[in-house]
Every structure is written in C-alpha cells, then in structure tokens.
Amino acid sequence: MERPLVSSRRGWPVGNGIPTLTGVLDIREPAPGAGVAGVDRRLTDALLATTQTLMVALLIAAARPGFGPETAWAFLFAVGFGGLLLAGRRAPRLVLALTVLGIFAYYILDLPGIGIALPAVAVLYRAAEVGVLGWAVVAGSALVAVGAVAQVAQGFQPTTYLIGHDLLTNLALVAASIALGVSVRARRETRSSQERLRAMTTAEQAREAERRLQAERVRIAQDLHDSVGHAMSVIALHGNVAAEAVGRDDDAARRAIEQIGAATSAQLRELRATVKLLRSPAADVERGAVCLSGLDRLADAAREAGLPVGIDVAVDDDCLDGAIEAAAYRIVQESLTNVIRHSGARHAAVTAGIRDDRLELVITDDGPGGSAAGPSSPGGGQGLLGMRERAAVLGGQLQAGRGKAGGFVVHAVLPTRLAS
C-alpha cells in the first residue's frame, strides 16, 4: 500500500524530515511497491502477465487446433512471454530485449502464427510506463519492420495487402501500447507532483507556525522581562526606603509601602493580561497602558523611586501602529529600569518624536558614565539584547552606549507603521 507522503512522528529518523514542536514532518516519495490508487503493483503485474499469457494462448489455439509437439512449444513461449512481464519493472530493458528475441525465435521455429505485435503489447506498455520510452519505440519499430520484411520476402501476402492491413494494424497496436504506458506514467507523475506540493505546503505551514510561535515566545519573554524587571526594581527601592524609615519617619515608610502596593497591583494586572492572551490569542486584552501616553506613569514611578525623569513626547496619538507604540513603551521602561538599578544617576530624560517618518526615542541619564546594561551589570546585557531584538523585529534599530557629555544614552529608531 502507498505510504503517506507526510508524517508527523516524534523521533522518526528521516533525511528529509522537518523538525516541529510535535516531532518531525517527513516528506517521502511513494514506496516502490505501491500502485495506482493504492493497489499493490505486484498484483497488477501478475494480472497483466496472466492476461498476456492467455491472449497468446488463445491465438495459438485458434491458429493450430488440437495439441501436438509444436503446440506444446508454442504454449511454453506463451508462458514465457507472460513470465517476463513479472520482471518488467525491475529490468525493463532486459525484459524488452528478451521478448523481442523470443518473438523472433518463435517464428524461426515455425510455430503457429500469433502476429508480430500482439505478443509484445504488454511489455511495450510496461516499458513506456516505467520510463524507458526510447527502448519501447525502438523495440516496437524493430518488430514491425522485421515482420513486414519477412512477410514480403517469403511472399505470404501481397504487398498492397501487407501495407494496407498488417503493417497499419501492427503499427497501431505498438503505438497504442506505448501511448497507454506514457499516459499512465504521466498521470502518476502528475499525482505524485501534487502530493509533493501538498507535502511541501504542509511543511511550509509547519515552519511558519514554528516561526510565529518562536516570535511569540520572544515577545512574551521580552514583555515579562521588561515589565516584571521594572516592577521589581521599584518594589526593591521602596522596600529599602521603608526599611530605613521605619521608626524614624513613619510617613515616609507608609508612602514607600503604598508605592510597593501600587507597583504590585499594576504588575498583577499586566500578568493577568498576559495569561489571558496566552490562553486565548483572540481575546480582547486591555493593553491601553502600554503606549506612549503611559510614559508619564513610568516617569512618576521612577520619581517615586528617587530618580527624577523628564518626559518630552512630540508624537500624535494616531500616527503610530499599536505594536510600534508598545515596543517604544517597553524600550523606555527597560531603559529606566536599568538606570534605576545600575547607573547611580541623579536624573534621566526621555524624548520621543517623529523624524523622517520614523519614531525616534532617546533615553539619557547623568550617571557616572558606566553602561546601564554593561557586562558588570547583572541581567543588564539581557535587557539591552531584548531591546535590540524588539526594535529589529519591527524593522528598526537601537544603539546604546556612553554619551558624549557623560552618562548613558539609549537611541532607538522605529518605523511608524508595520510593514504590510
């Protein structure tokens, strides 16, 4: 039976396999032993050989009624012609040559007449069907030509009768057999091409699903890193303030604890939105805070954590796609988080504007000049990597490093619209 062209089984060691989340997508050619519509080819070969044998046997019986030595030899030839067909797929050229030589030997032995083309129609069909068309044409032409010359030389039939009847009949039988084989082969190749195309389409769909899933994983990882990291930094700073103020400045301790509660509540809302999105990608998740209008809240949280932040946003509300705004918000969020955690700066500034139809973000601080996400900063490198990936996936770019006047500068340029 035909094996499936596309299979998805974990751990299947195949050369053409395409790895997916659920295993390996395997593209295979049809099995050599598989036939049309799933019928085993050995059965079709046996039926064809039997039909060929019976057809020649009937011709022998019609030409020489009764049974004698010549008839016995003729029937052996009939069985031989049919038996050769069983090897017609594995060795089509050899079978074709032996059949032609067998027909010549049959007539040299002066056995009952069976025609010159009829004993070869099945083998000619098989040769054309398995792809040795040239051999089939040469063999068929040789049979017809040799048969015609032999009949003319021996004077069995008038030349006009021979050309108008026998020659045309034999040519028609040979041509029809070869044409049928070519047609079957072409139909099989068309079906195989369609199956391969379907398999390739399925494989491409699997790869695209894999790419989309990986991109979604990266996006979620970036969002979690940026939002959770920012919230944890704010909570840690206010926790330190509260610990130092307890017993000395109860009002300051209370304000710090309130800020911890506010940061925790905001983070829980974001986590719930993320979980809702993961459970149902089509869910209507509220993400209004993750946009440029939410930068003021980021600045307020940073100020409460002890870092004054200036915000200068000169961007119209409707000139950016939502994904661009969300990415810009996350870049600013991660940059401020790194400033709070690593730079020791006393002031930071965020500017956003449109320049040459692209969104330009600049986040600066007045720290001692060390990188806010440098190698010595635990986790900082991952934050910078995430920001660069976030910009690159949207067709933008991000650079970060020491500013000319000191401090640290993050400069991001993003498209205003997603590429179609």
Q: What is the pLDDT of residues 220-252, one digit of tens each?
A: 776 676 667 767 777 887 788 788 888 888 888
pLDDT for the residue numbered 164: 59
More confident residue, 346 or 275: 346
The answer, as to whether pTM is greater than 0.75, is no
| pLDDT band with cut points at 50, 70 and 90 for residue 271 | confident
The CATH number fitting domain 310-420, selected from 3.30.9.10, 3.30.565.10, 2.120.10.30, 3.40.50.20: 3.30.565.10
Q: Which residue, 98, 92, 144, is CA-closest to 117?
A: 144
Which tens digit of pLDDT belongs to each residue from 283-334? 444 445 577 888 888 888 888 777 899 999 998 867 888 888 888 988 998 8
Residue 373 confidence (pLDDT) above 60: no
Residue type, 53: T
Per-residue confidence band for 360, with pLDDT thresholds at 50, 70 and 90: very high
**Residue spans per domain, the chain:** 36-199, 310-420
Per-residue pLDDT at 406:
83
Q: Reply yes or no on whether the pLDDT at 350 is more than 90.
A: yes
Q: What pLDDT is recorded for position 62?
A: 85
Q: Which residue has the higher pLDDT, 33 or 420?
A: 420
Which has the minimum average pLDDT: 76-90, 240-254, 343-357?
240-254
CA distances from 131 to 84, 128, 176 (A): 17, 5, 16
The closest of 115, 132, 126 to 177, measured between CA atoms, is 126
- Could you give the CA distance from residue 78 to residue 63 in angstroms, rounded to a whole number? 14
Neighbours of 350 (CB within 10 A): 23
CA distances to 240, 259, 263, 304, 418 from 253, rounded to whole Å, are 9, 10, 15, 12, 46
Q: Residue 25 has what pLDDT?
A: 44
Residue 274: the pLDDT is: 64
pLDDT over 70 percentage in the chain = 78
Higher pLDDT, 71 or 23: 71
pLDDT band at 279 (very low <50, low <70, confident <90, very high): low
The Cα–Cα gap between 127 and 179 comes to: 11
What is the average pLDDT across 368-374? 53
Is-contact 74 60, C-beta < 8 A?
A: yes
Q: Tell me the backbone φ, ψ of residue 157, rounded to 5 degrees.
A: -135, 150
The gap between the terminal CA atoms of the chain, to the nearest Å, is 45
Q: In what side-by-side order are the strands of the sheet with 23-27? A: 6-9, 23-27, 18-20
Nearest of 112, 42, 29, 41 to residue 71 by alpha carbon: 112
Residue 161, pLDDT score? 63
Q: Which residues have C-beta within 8 Å of that of residue 324, sequence separation ≥ 6?
A: 359, 394, 414, 415, 416, 417, 418
Cβ neighbour number for residue 111 with a 10 Å cutoff: 21
Ranges of H-type helices in 65-167: 69-85, 92-108, 121-130, 133-154, 159-161
144, two tokens: 């017809």
pLDDT band at 34 (very low <50, low <70, confident <90, very high): very low
Residue 136 reports pLDDT greater than 80: yes
Report the range out of 27-36, 81-90, 181-190 with the highest average pLDDT: 181-190
Number of Cβ atoms within 10 Å of the Cβ of 172? 11
Q: Residue 193 to residues 127, 189, 256: CA-CA distances in angstroms?
A: 21, 6, 70
In this prediction, residue 281 carries a pLDDT of: 52
Q: CA-CA distance, 170 to 243, in Å (whole number)?
A: 107
Residues in the chain: 420
The helix-helix angle for 121-130 and 69-85 (nearest 10°) equals: 10
**CA trace torsion 22, 26, 32, 36 (10° rounding):** 80
Name which of 380, 341, 333 is nearest 240 in CA terms.
Answer: 341
Contact assessment for residue 3 and residue 31, using Cβ atoms and an 8 Å cutoff: yes
**For 27-46, what is the mean pLDDT?**
58
Q: What is the pLDDT of residue 311?
A: 93
> Would you say the C-alpha torsion 60, 61, 65, 68 has a positive or negative sign?
positive
pLDDT of 282 over the 80 cut: no
Arithmetic mean of pLDDT over the chain? 78
The dihedral sign for the CA sequence 282, 286, 288, 290:
negative
- Reduce the DSSP state of residue 415 to 3 states and report it: strand
Exposed/middle/buried for residue 349 (C-beta within 10 Å: 0-12, 13-18, 19+): middle
Q: Which residue has the higher pLDDT, 150 or 230?
A: 150
Give the pLDDT confidence score for residue 156 in this predicted structure: 60
Taking residues 115-119, what's their average pLDDT? 85
- Distances from the Cα of 314 to the Cα of 127, 288, 292, angstroms: 77, 19, 10
Q: What is the mean pLDDT of residues 177-200?
A: 92
Residue 161 neighbours by CB distance under 10 Å: 12
- Per the DSSP assignment, residues forming a β-bridge with 312 are 351
Rounded Cα gap, residues 58 and 84, in angstroms: 18
Of the listed ranges 1-5, 92-96, 330-334, the least confidently predicted one is 1-5
Q: How confident is the model at residue 6 (pLDDT cuts 50, 70, 90)?
A: very low
Rounded mean pLDDT of 109-133?
A: 88
- Out of 43-47, 132-136, 182-186, 310-314, pick the least confident: 43-47
